[in-house]
Structure 1
Amino acid sequence: MATSHESLWSTAVRLRGNPRAAVWTEPMWGLSMALVLPYASVYMLALGLSDQQIGLLATIGILSQTVFGLLGGVITDKLGRRATTAVFDLVAWSVPCLIWAVAQNFWFFLGASLVNGAWQVTQNSWDCLLVEDAEPRLITRVYSLVRVAADLSALFAPVAAVLVARFGLEPAVRILYVNAFVVMTAKVWILYRASHETDVGRLRMTQVAGRSTWSLLREYRGVGAVIRRSPGTLYSVAVMAVVAAVALVTGTFWQIAVSQRLGVPDALLPFFPMARSILSMLFFFTLIPRLTGGAQLRRPTRWGFVAYLAGQLLLVAIPAADGARTSTYLLLGVTLVLDGFGGGILAMLAESLVALHVDKLERSRVMAMQRTAVMLVTAPFGWIAGWLSGVDRSWPFVLTSSLLVLGLVLTGWAPTLPQHDVDEPPLPVPPGPETARGM
């Protein structure tokens, strides 16, 4: 049994079962999609798309995610957490990677965005696979480890930079998308082999067996009532919506602003997320565990919003230039420190708050409803940010700053947040063969 004073690394070593399988396969994201994401927006620009079209694609992608997200809870309960994760990871990542690799114009990206929206199904099932067999006291640590595992992608950023410098932007990005297809497909297979269906998953599969998808969807009305009666759940949804909207805008337009407004060469673009990830990882092993070790999460949430807001405002304040100067890189370095802490802790806390408030037996459906609500709120911000970027490439970050101010206000109104160190009673699990393989 882990203690609250145990180091993050010790927790990672002691994990077993599904949490171990999910956490230890997550670094493969860094060998696949994380290599190409720093170039995704400038790749679209290189193929002739406008800022407005890129923003529109972001909004369409969110709308696609909304549809899949609404179905995610039902699919996860009917197929089980393990099978759903495997099937929809292939649909949501392997297939779009091949489309992006051969893309020629807006319509290729549109098709890939619509298919890629299926990742919201696997986000639901993967979250359940990750936490349902984990001790409640370890949930914030497990999500911290997931963030650290994703941040390990920073170590591979020079590979993308070398390819771009050697072959040019467009050919290099096509190569990176093919690589992402191969590695993500391998990740799906390894996670499937190393995991097993959760106790809650087996119970839910038994409960919904023989029932139609539509009858299960109709029950979402009752799930919505459960969410509305829980102030903590409503607060966690609000925080997640703000964090998601900021992540959508920054993930889409940060590289464009740095490349086109501040004059940073394309070959250097992956080094910025690399630095941000390294800093975030350091924070997760040092400062963040100290801030989130207590029972109350309101204060670290507030600190996360303040740091993230400061980073966004500083990015807006950096003077535009045809070519990046030394002062530009120094100021960008400061923004990366602030973003690495603020963005990292908020992403972890947003997921943790949701997991801590969800009723165990209703986890997949409640989380599906939460994500659907979040995506409906988030969807317009891609198009809005695209329009703003077409006017001035600093304006999307004025928008994100405003959203983070809203997050600070919401944190001031937050209800008492839960303790995360109390064990829950075991669930009544129906008899069935044990399929755990361990790792």
Structure 2
Amino acid sequence: MARIRDPLWRTFVELRGNPRACVWTEPLWGLSMALVLPYASVFMLALGLHDQQIGFLATIAMISQVGFGLAGGIITDRLGRRVTTAWFDVVAWVIPCLLWAFAENFWFFLAASLVNGALQVTQNSWDCLMVEDAERGQITRIYSLVKVAADCSALFAPLAAVLVAQLGLEPAVRILYVNAAVVMTAKIIWLYLWSRETRQGRFRMAATRGQSVWRLLAGYRGALGLLLRSRGSVLALAVAALTAAVTLVNGTFWQVVTSQHLHVPDALLPFFPMVRSLLSAVFFFTLIPLLTTAVDLRRATLWGFGVHLAGQVTLVAIPAPDGAATGSTYAFLGLCLLLDSFGAGMLFMLSESLVALHVDEAERSRVMAIQRTCIMLAAAPFGWISGWLSGIDRTYPFMLTSVLLVVGLVLAAVSWVPTHPDGADTVPTSDPA
């Protein structure tokens, strides 16, 4: 059998155990949430919500994630990575999808946002399930594969576009939310049956058995000390917080500015994330491996912040057409997608990988829970702020993200900490012959 030369493909084929279960089930995201997310904000507008309410809901969702994120480490250690992932995926996705599907006003969306915050529990447990039994040198490639799987799921976006074109925005989005609840349920069951509890998970379950919740909460003090004493973990935390804030604003208002400011028809909205995702997948198999070398993640981080910044500035600079979107509007949006697909994809992979590479392995679940809590606290205000800015001018939220990306550039340039004590970033892009 011929040896697969591409390191990412080789990792995908050779994955075993929990990493394979987590990566190989991830494409089901494309048949569930990825179909409906491009319409989430414009669906709210169609039901009578305004920009400030949409931004407020984004902030509430982040605050809910803070609370769940803080509890996530305790829950993950107590129940185990596998069981926690299954139960809290139901709470975080299936239940909110049903609330969104039958939403009539602001209060339905508020309830769904509060419950959806449980995603931080399952994000913690899922990360632990995926990487704890993996080889350290594979971690960045595994996160790259997760991003590629999510990107390739965008191939299903035309299904949503056809549904919206045939049925109209509101009924089509309700159907898509019901579909998301069903497909996510199938994903949850499949992952649970295919995975096994990790070695560290079994150890933490035994160590926390019989301990009170208050005693477990007190253990966060030691985990916080580990985090604060590690310059690398603090840097990873800052990179992840900036990335989360930019992602929050883009996820909430990119479709709003495209639809309401640039006058792109609703039926075309899912094609933009589809193109962005496909371009991102191409970059992960071509350019990104050349930048994430075994000795220099700093360069990759600078490229991620810089290129994403260029995409955001381009979006702000697009002239608003007097009527329907023009050919030049679509050309500029195409350039935005090209830049964002590389920059955002790079930053997603790096923000997750840097956290995983710098974390203390013996306290992974609690330290990562604290990190995620801090990330959500830092990002939460930007939902409300961007909603307020969008109410003034729909390009203003992206001026805000541009400033955040400049901060990230400066931080990576002057405060970099290698992921390995010898000064090298341990992320090999190819195996020895």
TM-score, normalized by the shorter chain, greater than 0.5: yes
Deviations 1:261-296 (A, max 9, x none): 000000000000000000000000111111113222
In structure 1, the residue corresponding to 2:357 is in which secondary structure? helix
In structure 2, the residue corresponding to 1:104 is in which secondary structure? coil
Partner of 1:81: 81
In structure 2, the residue corresponding to 1:293 is in which secondary structure? coil
What is the identity percentage for the equivalent residue pairs of Structure 1 and Structure 2? 67
Partner of 1:38: 38
Q: Does 1:284 align with 2:269?
A: no
Q: CA deviation at 1:90?
A: 0.4
The structure-2 alpha-carbon separation of the partners of 1:220 and 1:5, relative to structure 1 and needing over 3 Å to count, comes to farther
State the AA in 2 paired with 1:401: S
Q: Does 1:420 align with 2:421?
A: no
Q: Does 1:12 align with 2:18?
A: no
Q: CA deviation at 1:361?
A: 1.0
Task: Give ranges in structure 2 of 5+ residues lacking alignment.
Answer: 420-424, 429-433
Q: Does 1:384 align with 2:385?
A: yes
1:353-364 equivalences under 5 Å are 353-364=354-365
C-alpha contact 1:148 1:281 (8 A) present in aligned 2? yes
Task: Give ranges in structure 1 of 5+ residues lacking alignment.
Answer: 423-439
The structure-2 alpha-carbon separation of the partners of 1:4 and 1:66, relative to structure 1 and needing over 3 Å to count, comes to farther
Q: Does 1:306 align with 2:306?
A: yes
1:12-411 equivalences under 5 Å are 12-321=12-321, 322-411=323-412
Q: CA deviation at 1:421?
A: 5.1
State the AA in 2 paired with 1:351: E
The structure-2 alpha-carbon separation of the partners of 1:103 and 1:59, relative to structure 1 and needing over 3 Å to count, comes to same
The number of aligned residues is 420
C-alpha contact 1:296 1:416 (8 A) present in aligned 2? no
**CA distance in 2 between partners of 1:6 and 1:294 (Å):** 16
Partner of 1:437: none
In structure 1, the residue corresponding to 2:31 is in which secondary structure? coil
**CA distance in 1 between partners of 2:5 and 2:172 (Å):** 45
**CA distance in 1 between partners of 2:251 and 2:120 (Å):** 17
Q: CA deviation at 1:4?
A: 12
Q: CA deviation at 1:156?
A: 0.2
Deviations 1:17-69 (A, max 9, x none): 00000000000000000000000000000000000000000000000000000
State the AA in 2 paired with 1:136: R
The structure-2 alpha-carbon separation of the partners of 1:120 and 1:286, relative to structure 1 and needing over 3 Å to count, comes to same
In structure 1, the residue corresponding to 2:171 is in which secondary structure? helix
**CA distance in 2 between partners of 1:139 and 1:133 (Å):** 10
In structure 2, the residue corresponding to 1:197 is in which secondary structure? coil
**CA distance in 1 between partners of 2:418 and 2:386 (Å):** 32
Q: CA deviation at 1:359?
A: 1.1
Partner of 1:429: none
Q: CA deviation at 1:414?
A: 2.5
**CA distance in 2 between partners of 1:209 and 1:368 (Å):** 19
Partner of 1:430: none
RMSD (Å) for aligned C-alpha atoms? 1.2
State the AA in 1 paired with 2:353: S
Q: CA deviation at 1:415?
A: 3.1
Q: CA deviation at 1:417?
A: 1.4
Partner of 1:431: none
TM-score where L is the length of structure 1: 0.94
Deviations 1:323-347 (A, max 9, x none): 1000000010000000000000100
C-alpha contact 1:138 1:420 (8 A) present in aligned 2? no
